[in-house]
Amino acid sequence: MKIGVIGGGQLGRMLALAGTPMGMQFIFLDPAADACAAAVGAQICADYNDHEHLRQLADQVDLVTFEFENVPAETVAFLSQYVPVFPCADALRVARDRLNEKTLFQQLQIPVAPFAAIESQVELDRAIQVIGLPAVLKTRTLGYDGKGQKVLRTTADVTDAYAELGSVPSILETFVHFTGEVSLLAVRSRHGEIRAYPLVHNTHEQGILRLSLPSNDHVLQTLAETYVTSVLEHLDYVGVLAFEFFEFNGGLFANEIAPRVHNSGHWTIEGAECSQFENHLRAVTGLPLGSTSKLGESAMINFIGTVPEVEALAAIEDCHFHHYGKSFKNGRKVGHGTIRSQSAERMLQQLTKLKALV
């Protein structure tokens, strides 16, 4: 089975690392000459809207999937003429645009913080009167790792905010004083089977995910699964989908969805019976899904900007480290480490050692 992947970053690389033992081969399409997934598969180095190269990819593979959702809708439509594409164009259309996303959540009666669509400074000024401060202004598309957003705390912050964010279609949201952030990763197969991993507690630093801690019997697990199931079924979604929530007032506010494998699921490589990467591949290739049960107790820490010394990482028992082979750069995710231990107590001890290295 040959799998085409749009995007050749670390998510693509980890997909191939999971799929290779199952006899799958991978071709990545990515415009970057140094795409880190190229170490584990072939690469077509081309832009996401380059029809000639998209066609070349389609001709060589059995299906196409994504590790990166910010591709033009037209790219997905073009590929779909020649080869099965998972998840479908509709899912990508929703997930790549925050307004489409929030509108769908409302339609499915999934709670969201108050928001407004913004296309000018005048609309922003008007929306602030309704939504109040503090608030968050976010570009509708192309945001990641907290980029493309601005927290507005005072009226002075509002004055030129629309231009400061690039004068592009945006949404304004209430700033949520959440008690925590959680994500639910779920997978739906080509046959409609759905499985979800345990809810994961996420901690961000400067807008970038730093720590993920999968939970045990979280009180909101069932509620989160209800929400994700309605999205998966509504979109006739195939593959892994990540749903990010704010914990607020004992319930959940939907933040966003990612139509792909997700950073807050990296712990599943060592910490779950079947990883998010393997389950995504099982889903898109029509295989039965694997178990999403936890193996022991896990925690994942992102390496941002640089990877700690390999000797130091290897010296921590129960630590599994991943070096993405990317050049080091401030604010860039270049690797991660997962602690997986038999008991929570031991895991927290080993996690303290790993935290000391980052």
Q: Which residue has the tokens 């912050």?
A: 157
Q: Where are the alpha helices (DSSP H) in the chain?
A: 10-19, 51-60, 73-80, 89-95, 98-107, 121-131, 155-158, 161-164, 221-234, 268-271, 276-285, 310-314, 344-355
Residue 190 or 210: which CB sits closer to ligand ATP? 210
Q: Is 191 in the site for ligand ATP (CB under 6 A)?
A: no
Identify the residue among 67, 97, 101, 181 touching ligand ATP (CB under 6 A): 181
- 136 makes contact, choosing from Mg ion, ligand ATP, none, with CB < 5 to 8 Å by partner type, with ligand ATP
Residue 97 or 244: which CB sits closer to Mg ion? 244
In the complex, what is the shortest distance from the CB of residue 301 to ligand ATP, in angstroms, rounded to a whole number?
Answer: 15
Q: Which residue is nearest to Mg ion (CB)?
A: 244
Residues 4-63 that bind ligand ATP (CB under 6 A): none
In the complex, what is the shortest distance from the CB of residue 244 to ligand ATP, in angstroms, rounded to a whole number?
Answer: 6
- 143 makes contact, choosing from ligand ATP, Mg ion, none, with CB < 5 to 8 Å by partner type, with ligand ATP
Name every residue whose Cβ is closer than 8 Å to that of residue 193 and which is 6 or more positions away in sequence. Answer: 288, 289
Cα gap 356→317, rounded to integer Å: 14
- 207 makes contact, choosing from ligand ATP, Mg ion, none, with CB < 5 to 8 Å by partner type, with ligand ATP
Identify the residue among 17, 209, 224, 272 touching ligand ATP (CB under 6 A): 209
Residue 30 or 244: which CB sits closer to Mg ion? 244
Q: Which residue has the tokens 């006899």?
A: 23
111 cis-preceded (ω within 30 degrees of 0): no
Cα gap 307→206, rounded to integer Å: 18
Residues 84-123 that bind ligand ATP (CB under 6 A): 113
What are 222's two structure tokens? 């069932």
- 69 makes contact, choosing from Mg ion, ligand ATP, none, with CB < 5 to 8 Å by partner type, with none
Burial (CB count <10 Å: 0-12, 13-18, 19+), residue 160: exposed
Count of residues binding ligand ATP (CB under 6 A)? 17
- 75 makes contact, choosing from Mg ion, ligand ATP, none, with CB < 5 to 8 Å by partner type, with none
Cα gap 66→179, rounded to integer Å: 32
Question: Which range, of 33-41, 139-147, 270-278, 333-341, touches ligand ATP by CB under 6 A?
Answer: 139-147
Question: Which range, of 73-81, 141-149, 277-285, 300-308, touches ligand ATP by CB under 6 A?
Answer: 141-149
Cα gap 111→249, rounded to integer Å: 12
Whole-angstrom Cα Rg for the chain: 20
Cα gap 22→208, rounded to integer Å: 32
Q: Which residues make up the interface to ligand ATP (CB under 6 A)?
A: 113, 136, 143-147, 173, 175-176, 181, 204, 207, 209, 244, 255-256
